[in-house]
Amino acid sequence: MKKTVLVSGGAGFIGSHVTVELLEAGYEVVVADNMSNCDMTCFEGVKKITGRADLPFEKVDFCDAVATEALFDKYKIDAVIHFAAFKAVGESVDKPVMYYKNNLGSFLNVLEAAQTHGGCNVLFSSSATVYGQPEKLPVTEESPRQPATSPYGATKQMCEDILQDTVKASGGAIKGILLRYFNPIGAHPSALIGELPRGVPNNLVPFITQTAIGKRECLSIFGDDYPTPDGTCLRDYIDIVDLAKAHVFAVTRMIEGKMKKDCEVFNVGTGRPVSVMELVTAFEKVNGLKLNYKIAPRRPGDVTAVWADPTLANKELGWKATRSVEETLKAAWAWEKHLAGK
């Protein structure tokens, strides 16, 4: 009997790529999303990539406890991967109540429904943002979490604690894995799914590809006076398909009972620090184009450098990032051209 994974926020950028990998690994998947931050482009793309025209989709706002419970009544859920959350750092500073209400409320409803249905495996989509500006690099899972620098980051830390406490109190009925992503970038090699930010992109790579396609006038590089080799910030950019595959390894670890603790934490990164300027230069080179960019003032809240030590995930999950930055930036550009009908 196939195991079923509920992917909350599954019509979004990361959720849709994870759904593809879960289906290709032989899992049944239920995609649930309230469509507040995406349209059906990626969900339709997932069906084309996997040939699963019958892929179940449920329009659900996880802040609605009754609707969340009904989902768990309707499907026998063996694991839930929780992506449903708002994720714009800057917006969270302007609208903290909206972020706490949505990001905490939705996760609490999922956990409550899991409890009332006899428990299940819960994988929470966390973020390297919980580490703030680490004192020591690369970052391991033992690195201390720093005080959050935005309500968005605070909701990630709070949801991590909520899951740990819920697992502890569940007497084994609920197992948890926290995946701390670094910087997910790129798109599926089919160019049928990818990042589709609403409005002006906050993140670097969609701003690069939208500038290259002509949707944006000019890329601003936020600061070139940081204490780094070329003066621009360093990040651990991880290919979205590599990231998606990590979720399959993590869900399988839970479902097959291979966990060493009831709640585990893994950094999902490449271990490879790349600067903004290096990324821009690589994008130009691999796609044979010139990008219009300028140096702008630093963006408040940016950390100078953060990248992962992925040893634990490599060893325990048996997962490793394999795609090069060049391969990822090629896929990102192919996706942007697909969106433009090119």
State which of residues 80, 221, 250, 265 lies at the interface with ligand WQD (CB under 6 A). Answer: 221
Binding mask 160-179 for ligand WQD (x = CB under 6 A): --------------------
- 127 belongs to the binding site for ligand WQD (CB under 6 A): yes
C-beta of 146 vs 203, nearer to ligand WQD: 203
Q: Nearest approach, Cβ of 203 to ligand WQD (angstroms)? A: 3
Q: Nearest approach, Cβ of 306 to ligand WQD (angstroms)? A: 7
Structure tokens at 52: 């699963």
Structure tokens at 175: 């197992």
Let me know if 152 is a catalytic residue.
Answer: yes
- 183 belongs to the binding site for ligand WQD (CB under 6 A): yes
C-beta of 6 vs 280, nearer to ligand WQD: 280
State which of residues 100, 148, 164, 222 lies at the interface with ligand WQD (CB under 6 A). Answer: 222
Q: How far apart are CA 213 and CA 193, in angstroms?
A: 17
- 235 belongs to the binding site for ligand WQD (CB under 6 A): yes
Residues 6+ apart with CB under 8 A from 281: none
C-beta of 127 vs 166, nearer to ligand WQD: 127
The interface with ligand WQD within residues 21-80 (CB under 6 A) comprises none
The one-letter amino acid at 110: V
Stretch that binds ligand WQD, among 37-45, 99-107, 219-227, 322-330 (CB under 6 A): 219-227
C-beta of 221 vs 331, nearer to ligand WQD: 221
Give the containing element (helix H, strand E) for 17: helix 13-24
Q: How far apart are CA 243 and CA 333, in angstroms?
A: 18
Q: Three-class SS string for 32-63?
A: EECCCCCCCHHHHHHHHHHCCCCCCEEECCCC
Residue showing the smallest CB distance to ligand WQD in the complex: 233
Please state whether 127 falls in left (phi above 0), alpha (psi between -120 and 50) or beta.
beta
Q: Nearest approach, Cβ of 269 to ligand WQD (angstroms)? A: 12
- 87 belongs to the binding site for ligand WQD (CB under 6 A): yes
- 224 belongs to the binding site for ligand WQD (CB under 6 A): no
Kindly name the residue from 27, 99, 131, 152 that is annotated as catalytic: 152
C-beta of 47 vs 235, nearer to ligand WQD: 235
Give the containing element (helix H, strand E) for 24: helix 13-24
Nearest CA-CA partner of 176 in 264, 287, 290:
264
Q: Are 76 and 119 in contact (CB under 8 A)?
A: no
Structure tokens at 39: 């349209």
Q: How far apart are CA 287 and CA 49, in angstroms?
A: 24
Q: Phi and psi of 39, rounded to 5°?
A: -115, -165
Q: Nearest approach, Cβ of 233 to ligand WQD (angstroms)? A: 3
Stretch that binds ligand WQD, among 26-34, 94-102, 199-207, 244-252 (CB under 6 A): 199-207
C-beta of 290 vs 294, nearer to ligand WQD: 294
Q: How far apart are CA 118 and CA 95, in angstroms?
A: 35
Residues 6+ apart with CB under 8 A from 277: 221, 224, 230, 231, 232
* Enzyme catalytic residues: 152
Provide the binding-site residues for ligand WQD, judged by CB under 6 A: 87, 89, 127, 129, 183, 202-204, 207, 219-222, 233, 235, 276, 299, 302
